[in-house]
């Protein structure tokens, strides 16, 4: 679904609708940004900024727009709980039209994420495993060494391939780790890179390192002209001439 959407619109930009500010204004602002950019994005990512105050039922207009435009909707829950809770989460998300969910592999497969990944696939959705985050302190956790001396992010990339995940999330601020992850997962997993724009990640460098999709939030959502800002990122992607994924 993500690949098809990317080819149709010629864009790998995933819009992170992580809109902050006064609660009474967030939803209207998010809907406005989506309306301005819907024709040029590969997907929409929802985080707790909207999910907590409004819930899935309160985001019906956004869900309707994504469904009407054929835009994949991803829930950024970093799902990391026991099996029964994870299964309830993916069932609920699917019921409300969410196509993919970001999960944290730290919880493990058995009685953790294994059944949730299988259920997501049964529901025709996608499972994305979090491999390396975009904030400055990410290495304090994802860079920890396993008993064999391997960094945790590499172990997580391997688990994504072994567990049959559809994609992985690797920071756009860390092109080297994107390249390492691509070597590990090959073409079996899509790579989604957050941290592009406001956090300092560069789309062109992420693309050159092997990323398929580029998660952009504040650089678009806080722009006075979201459509124009999106166009700039799309131009950056268009200038990259590398292997087609």
- Catalytic positions are 78
d(CA 21, CA 29): 10
Question: What residues contact residue 110 under an 8 Å CB cut-off, 6+ apart?
Answer: none
d(CA 182, CA 208): 11
Size of the chain in residues: 245
Its sign, for the CA torsion 24, 101, 212, 155, is: positive
Tokens representing residue 36 in the block: 């301005």
d(CA 64, CA 207): 30
Tokens representing residue 146 in the block: 């396993």
């Amino acid at each position: 679904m993500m690949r098809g959407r990317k080819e149709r619109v010629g864009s790998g930009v995933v819009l992170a609708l992580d809109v902050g500010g006064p609660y009474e204004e967030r939803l209207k602002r998010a809907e406005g940004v989506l309306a301005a950019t819907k024709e040029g994005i590969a997907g929409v990512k929802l985080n707790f900024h909207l999910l907590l105050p409004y819930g899935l039922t309160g985001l019906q207009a956004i869900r309707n727009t994504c469904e009407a435009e054929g835009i994949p909707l991803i829930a950024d829950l970093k799902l990391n709980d026991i099996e029964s809770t994870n299964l309830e989460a993916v069932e609920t998300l699917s019921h409300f039209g969410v196509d993919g969910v970001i999960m944290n592999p730290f919880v493990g497969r058995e009685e953790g994420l294994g059944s949730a990944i299988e259920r997501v696939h049964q529901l025709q959705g996608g499972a994305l495993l979090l491999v390396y985050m975009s904030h400055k302190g990410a290495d304090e956790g994802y860079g920890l060494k396993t008993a064999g001396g391997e960094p945790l992010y590499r172990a997580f990339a391997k688990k994504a391939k072994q567990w049959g995940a559809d994609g992985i999330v690797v920071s756009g601020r860390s092109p080297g780790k994107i390249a390492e992850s691509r070597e590990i997962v090959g073409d079996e997993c899509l790579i989604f890179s957050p941290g592009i724009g406001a956090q300092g990640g560069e789309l062109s460098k992420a693309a050159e390192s092997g990323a398929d999709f580029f998660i952009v939030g504040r650089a678009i959502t806080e722009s006075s002209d979201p459509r124009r800002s999106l166009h700039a990122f799309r131009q950056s992607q268009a200038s990259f001439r590398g292997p087609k994924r």
